[in-house]
A and B are shown apart, each in its own frame.
Chain A
């Protein structure tokens, strides 16, 4: 096993065309952000899949803990009054 340091891991986000958001495409190792951008171009946009790339070092991403998913996301479950269908209006009403 080599003791050499590995290149850091980067997460890659691609905007497929203007007007759309950047979406997570995958990850790759690179020595620095410049190389990460160059490699992301070669790996993720070989067939015109993108017009813009973001790279973020994976260690800089803070993620919610799946074990806390219940307390984080369940409170929204019973709040049906946040949806338009909760409010009953006569059917003949238009444009609302």
Chain B
């Protein structure tokens, strides 16, 4: 029999050699737990993330925008599903994950605890929030756990439409009336800092980073991803003719990156702890969906039980007939 240390060493060697880990392979308990936590929270983010945008579907300014937004929000439901399925391969049930979300045991991305006050927020979310998510998710297509990596490949294929539809909304507003452009600027102002926080705490405040990098769960640190996002986004804001809501943003020739100002981490932790503007509303909406859906889940199960019962009965009759027992 192998002892745990040998297994752990061999596991690390497989990771170092770039092998993927599949659900039934031996893995350290912490690797399994970290993945259940990370993948389920990622799934919750996709699902809760539908709420702020869903808020504008009925009020989209044109049929084209409504179709685009509807398709995007539907995609996010699919992303949640891919991710829940990936987490389930590690031995947690879907219902258990749902309960963890509803009881607050599991978190989701804090960005979705901010309200969507104007139509421009839908543009800013697609551009910045999906933009930040893409940077994280592209990295995760190379993560070491097979089902997670495969879910990410599928998700990344769908995400680029999300970001483009968001940017196009911003572009249209910025080419519109002064009021429309102002609305776009206001949405950028409110979304920018929370979007930067999406990458998580600074590397020095992120004690799990080292282990996650060693296990190739993450391939880049929070700060590396955040910098990548800033570098990509600043020129896109310039193209829109919008002002970044951070006076410290400046190209740093020496570093080859944009410098940017300090993030308000107190705000970040407040929102994580449940005190953001919409935390309660979001969970209440999910709880209501769960409660209101109970009869549907029950009815579908009852229907399928009855159907297979009927099939068994008619198969029984057919068998008896062919045996000549009944006419």
Contact = CB atoms under 8 A, between A and B. Distances in A.
Interface of A: 1-2, 4-7, 9, 26-29, 31-32, 35, 43, 46-47, 63, 65-67
B300 A7 contact: yes
B85 A26 contact: yes
A89 B24 CA distance: 44
A9 B87 CA distance: 13
B206 interface: no
Contact of A4 (B151, B154, B297): B297
Contact of A6 (B94, B151, B158, B294): B94
Interface in B159-177: none
Q: Is the interface of A mostly helix, strand, loop or mixed?
A: loop
26 contacts: A1-B95, A1-B96, A1-B99, A2-B294, A4-B297, A5-B301, A7-B300, A7-B301, A9-B85, A26-B81, A26-B85, A26-B154, A27-B85, A28-B85, A29-B94, A31-B300, A31-B303, A31-B304, A32-B304, A32-B308, A43-B81, A65-B24, A66-B22, A66-B24, A66-B26, A67-B26
A67 to B, nearest CB: 7
B25 A66 contact: yes
Given A26-B85, A46-B71, A65-B24, 11 more contacts: A1-B95, A2-B294, A6-B94, A6-B95, A7-B300, A26-B154, A31-B303, A32-B303, A46-B75, A63-B24, A66-B22
Q: Which of A2, A29, A31 has the most CB of B within 10 A?
A: A31
